[in-house]
């Protein structure tokens, strides 16, 4: 049982770290002389400028921050429920918050995928932060589903 709990916590922390890195690091798109993310557009010629104020980039920013908040709350709730939940109880609240976090990161990545062609220069491609956001989605979803299925044992 201890090994299972450690595996679940490791999976959750891996998803949480990926969410933090993908939201903070400035490589959602990259080109020969430019990088852009949710917050700034940087180029070797003109330096860094704030990201556009379009509604779509603000919605991506919002759902990525919500995914981090919900994932942190889910981890906190897991530890609270681990010590307060009765024997045989399920971690529904924890699982729900983690599944919502995964849906938020998926929504942010989809919005960025659809809307970035009108914002990102032609020669740029998606960077590793964007890929990390997509990797965080299934990890958070699997973690949430495990929480829903998991029963507390003594």
Measure Cα distances from 147 to 8, 32, 55, 85 in Å: 8, 43, 34, 13
Quick one: fold of 1-152? Butyryl-CoA Dehydrogenase, subunit A; domain 3 (1.20.140)
State the pLDDT at residue 72: 97
Strands of the sheet containing 125-126, edge to edge, are 47-50, 40-43, 34-36, 29-30, 125-126
pTM of the predicted model, to two decimals? 0.90
Could you read off the pLDDT of 96-126 as tens digits, one per residue? 999 999 999 999 999 999 987 777 777 888 8
Could you read off the pLDDT of 7-62 as tens digits, one per residue? 999 999 999 999 999 999 878 888 888 888 788 877 788 787 777 767 888 899 99
Sequence-distant (6+) residues with CB within 8 A of 88 are: 151, 152, 153
Whether the per-residue pLDDT at 154 is higher than 70: the answer is no
State the pLDDT at residue 49: 78
State the pLDDT at residue 53: 67
């Amino acid at each position: 049982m201890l090994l299972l709990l450690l595996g679940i916590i490791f999976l959750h922390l891996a998803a949480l770290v990926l969410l933090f890195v993908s939201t903070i690091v400035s490589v959602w798109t990259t080109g020969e002389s430019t990088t852009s993310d949710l917050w700034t557009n940087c180029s070797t010629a003109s330096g860094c400028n704030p990201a556009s104020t379009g509604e779509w980039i603000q919605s991506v920013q919002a759902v990525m921050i919500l995914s981090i908040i919900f994932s942190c709350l889910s981890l906190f709730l897991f530890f609270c429920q681990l010590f307060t939940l009765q024997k045989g109880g399920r971690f529904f609240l924890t699982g729900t918050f983690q599944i919502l976090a995964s849906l938020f990161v998926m929504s942010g990545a989809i919005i960025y995928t659809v809307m970035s062609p009108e914002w990102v220069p032609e020669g740029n491609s998606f960077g590793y932060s964007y890929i990390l956001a997509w990797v965080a989605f299934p990890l958070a979803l699997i973690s949430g589903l495990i929480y829903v299925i998991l029963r507390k044992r003594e």
